[in-house]
Amino acid sequence: MATEFDFVIVGGGTAGLVLAARLSEDPNTQVLVMEAGEDLANDPRVNIPGMWTQLQSGATDWQLKSVPQDSLNGRSVPIAQGRLLGGCSALNAMNFVVPAKEDLDAWAELGNPGWDWDSFSRYLNKTHTKGITDGNKKLDGDDGTIQVNIPKEETKWPQVWRDTWAGLGYPTDNDPFSGEIHGAVTYPDAIHPEAKTRSYAGNDYLGLARGRANLTVWTGVPVDKILFDNTTKDAAVATGVRYTTKDGTTSSVRARKEVVLSAGVFHSPKLLELSGIGNAQLLQSLGIDVVVDNPNVGENLQHHPLSVHSFETVQDGQPGFETMDALVRQDPDAIAAAVNAYKTTQSGPLSRSNCNTMAHLPFPGLDTEAGKHDAQSIVKTLTQSETKYPIGNSDNDTYTSAATALATRSLTDPSSASGYYVFIPCPAGPPEPTTPGSVPKTHITIATLLTRPLSRGSTHITSAEKAKPPVIDPRYLSHPADIATLARHVRFIRKTVTNQPPLADRLVRNTAADDDDTPKKDTDKNEDLDLDTLTTTLRNTAAASTLYTSTCAMMPRAMGGVVDPELRVYGTRNVRVVDASVMPFITRGDTMATVYGIAEKAAGIIGGV
């Protein structure tokens, strides 16, 4: 077995496999991918789109958990992160969400030339091939690797969703590839259009490169340390990595050119810290030799806080309003029907993500004076709270100002979005118990996410022991503007959206089955929609999406950065980070498409194209 390669990529996930496939296009370059998980390329839970929820636990997940959150009344929140070849692209919901133009332009304005929308688009374009017709030629993606398409609508629910938003005055014909979404939108799924199987880094990017003699992929080999040449004085030079073999022994492999970390938002900073790159005070307290003192490592953790509400639907026999309640209840007949539809016609709930019907909405009520005043009251808290609720991890206020500007725009600009809604034709949480002879109820769910969170968390090691997981403190909804904004979006969903036809006509009136199993409440009662009550409810019930970013942020070091615009770790000559952890700001939607683009751009940077 070879022990020396040009590039050693730690992490065979969404970004790592893209980078490996691109770098190995040069037959003279030897590339090694080291993945802690296993290759499940033939596992139906990976390949069948509608089975994606079956992989959110067990050996395919890192089983991470947050520390108890004061802002969530002491609750600890599970954090799903893929531990298998393909990473999160192998087990997520497959939503291919192009970032907003303002997301990327904000990255560039922090001091990251070449990362603006216009520059990044050509790399994003390389990531996908569309199975749909689209007018935006700039992002057609006709020659890309990941297959994306909008599944055929088999129920009337997506049209009901669009018509409801149209009735409220919002656009419904958004181009999902434009970077400028306002209103309702149907996003494509990363699914092969004919076979109806998941399209992801493990079967498409790696599939292109598996036969190359210059690409080696090792699975089941967790890496615990970057090895450095101790004779260099100006910048640290990595010589390879140390890892644990499948039989439990410790070994190492050399890197002639570079070590690239694509281990994800929590394990890339963990590996840096275990290797001596991080806060010197922390490292010294753990007996780790300091290679680069950078307290920004593991800081600036960002996420989309999430609130989920289910609503009972009318059962009047009209076709087209089917839900997936029976599948959630694991009804044998429903499961058999879904399996048969998938096998015979590649259709039905197993052929899709079932959660690609969405909307990006501005702050509720901006078209009224009361709404504008309400938004301004939250804007005032942005600057008033900077000392108590710091944004970023430095004394440099440039990053704080930029983050505040993004949040302010989302609160005051009708063309920007502060809320991100997802429609799902099934209940949230466990199914309701049924009594013999009764007709089981049916539900739809609306998930509400915050697009521009100001809360910032951290992830750090607490031991030099490689097997110990990092301590993760996301500080969910700790910034007062975050919970204030999310509460207003939840109120908007429950008070306005669900009372707007045609959606209102399909819901059992005056009931809402909440995700916390509380008794059903009258959604028209003022006390249930009081902001103080909603805030209390969110503290008890809000969760987090699986989208985390920014723990090795790309921005100037003095501003809180860990990597430079070429994704090179500050203080090193040949260590880069290529994954979601480099995003200085989280994008306003799902991050998978952006991570693919980051990896394509990284390959261009390394290859000089």
pLDDT digits (tens, 9 = 90+) for 537-586: 999 999 888 899 999 999 999 999 999 999 999 999 999 999 999 999 99
Query: pLDDT (tens digit, 9 = 90+) per residue, 294-341?
Result: 999 999 999 999 999 999 999 999 999 999 999 999 999 999 999 999
Whether the predicted pLDDT of 271 surpasses 90: yes
Residue 522: pLDDT band (50, 70, 90) is very low
Instruction: Determine what percent of the chain is predicted with pLDDT higher than 70.
Output: 91
Q: Is the pLDDT of residue 137 over 50?
A: no
Q: Check if the beta carbon of residue 379 is closer than 8 Å to that of residue 408.
A: yes
Q: Is 46 in contact with 90 (CB distance < 8 Å)?
A: yes
Q: Are 415 and 182 in contact (CB under 8 A)?
A: yes
The CA dihedral of 588, 303, 352, 175, to the nearest 10 degrees, is 0
Asked which of 172-176, 346-350, 392-396 is least confident by mean pLDDT, the reply is 392-396
Torsions phi, psi of 498, nearest 5? -75, -5
pLDDT digits (tens, 9 = 90+) for 453-488: 999 999 999 999 999 999 999 999 999 999 999 999
- Is residue 277 predicted with pLDDT exceeding 60? yes
User: Which of these ranges, 83-87, 516-520, 588-592, 594-598, has the smallest mean pLDDT?
Assistant: 516-520
Q: Are 180 and 101 in contact (CB under 8 A)?
A: yes
Question: What are the DSSP E strand ranges found in 195-263?
Answer: 215-219, 223-228, 238-244, 250-261
CB atoms within 10 A of CB 1: 7
As a whole number, the mean pLDDT across the chain is 92
Across the strands, what pairs with 146? Answer: 128
Catalogue the E-assigned strands of 90-162.
128-130, 146-148
Q: Give the residue-averaged pLDDT of 227-242.
A: 92
The separation between the first and the last C-alpha atoms of the chain, rounded to the nearest angstrom, is 32
Amino acid letter at 141? Answer: G
Query: Residue 332: its pLDDT value, please?
Result: 96
Distance CA 83, CA 57 (A): 10
Residue 502 has pLDDT above 90, yes or no: yes
Taking 50 as the threshold, does the pLDDT of residue 514 lie above it? Answer: no
Q: Which of 113, 103, 100 is closest to 556 using CA atoms? A: 113
pLDDT tens digits for range 40-60? 999 999 999 999 988 877 889
Instruction: Report d(CA 65, CA 512) in Å as an integer.
Output: 29
Q: Say what percent of the chain tops pLDDT 90.
A: 85
| Residue 461: predicted pLDDT | 98
Distance from the Cα of residue 46 to its chain's centroid: 18
Q: Which of 361, 481, 348 is nearest to 421 (CA)?
A: 361
Give the separation between CA 124 and CA 126, rounded to whole angstroms: 5
Mean pLDDT of the region 235-254 = 96
The CA dihedral of 362, 368, 373, 375, to the nearest 10 degrees, is -10
Domains of the chain (ranges, CATH numbers):
4-59+83-146+198-302+548-607 (3.50.50.60)
Q: What pLDDT sits at residue 608?
A: 77
Determine the pLDDT at residue 394: 62
Assign 433 a pLDDT band (cuts: 50, 70, 90).
low
- How far is residue 17's CA from residue 10's CA, in Å, rounded to a whole number? 10
Q: Residue 221: name the closest of 36, 404, 69, 385 by CA.
A: 36
Using the structure block, give the residue that is written with the tokens 């030799």.
289
DSSP symbols for 8-29: EEE--SHHHHHHHHHHTTSTT-
- Is 481 within 8 Å of 378 (Cβ atoms)? yes
pTM of the model: 0.94
